[in-house]
Structure 1
Amino acid sequence: MSFNSPNEQKWAERWDQLFDVLSAEPRREIIISLRDAPPDQRVPLPDAAESPNQSMDSETLAIKLRHHHLPKLADVGYVHWESEPFCAQRGPNFAEAEFIVEKVFESIEEIPDSLLKNCRVLGELGADD
């Protein structure tokens, strides 16, 4: 791929970062939890990162959040987080991640079955419609 300007490269990098950040379920769950909360509200962790698709105890999830998932979300400005109390809130670039999650939810009926099979989060959402 050839870029004509540094701005084009930054644009492509933003999209790459967005999909990289959304590639892990705990990070998607945090974005969904914040999307469902009022804009200025914090969500409790690790609860906001838990998913019916995961079989991880809360303590292990909290460790993974602190050392991997939350720094990755914070580095691109999707969330701000604190250790005490352990919580997250929307960051200045939250709308980027929220946009993708919204489009997936709006398109639930168009998602191929192979992506819905065994996904409890999207399966429940599709059943609600």
Structure 2
Amino acid sequence: MKSSSRQILFDEMVDALADVQRRTLLVALLEHNPQADRPVVVGDGGTEAIEVKQLIQMKHVHLPKLAEYGFIDWDEDAHEVAKGPNFDEIRPLLELLDDHADELPADWL
């Protein structure tokens, strides 16, 4: 799914960061581009049922939302996620989270 560059509102950035799965994926893209979507999703050590639920949410909720905002480009067939045309607009917030990850509650990233 390809997105075009457009002006992003702060509320959209906050919405994109409102879920830990989306935050984790976006922060991972700071240093790794492209990033396979599966390893980022299944990393919490939960049960298989929880991991399946997370995969379903990632595919049907989180990846489409991030692609709609243009923060990622998502190749659903190749299971690959890369920085989208609007990634640089959310980069400062991601860097802030990443730079202070050790000071934040564990469930934030």
User: Shorter-chain-normalised TM-score: which range?
Assistant: 0.7 to 0.9
Aligned to 1:80: 73
TM-score (norm 2): 0.76
Using a 3 Å threshold, how does the CA distance of structure 1 residues 16 and 51 change in structure 2: closer, same or farther?
Answer: farther
Amino acid at match of 1:28: R
Question: How far apart, CA to CA, are the structure 1 residues paired with 2:53 and 2:26?
Answer: 20
Whether the 8 Å contact between 2:13 and 2:90 is mirrored in structure 1 is yes
* Aligned residues: CA RMSD: 2.4
- Overall identity of the aligned pairs, in %: 24
Question: How far apart, CA to CA, are the structure 2 residues paired with 1:107 and 1:81?
Answer: 27
Aligned length, in residue pairs: 100
Question: How far apart, CA to CA, are the structure 2 residues paired with 1:69 and 1:107?
Answer: 24
Whether the 8 Å contact between 1:29 and 1:48 is mirrored in structure 2 is yes
TM-score (norm 1): 0.65
Match of 1:45 among 37, 40, 43: 37
Aligned to 1:26: 21
Give the gaps of 5 or more residues in structure 1: 1-10, 123-129
Using a 3 Å threshold, how does the CA distance of structure 1 residues 15 and 108 change in structure 2: closer, same or farther?
Answer: same
The structure with the larger Rg is 1
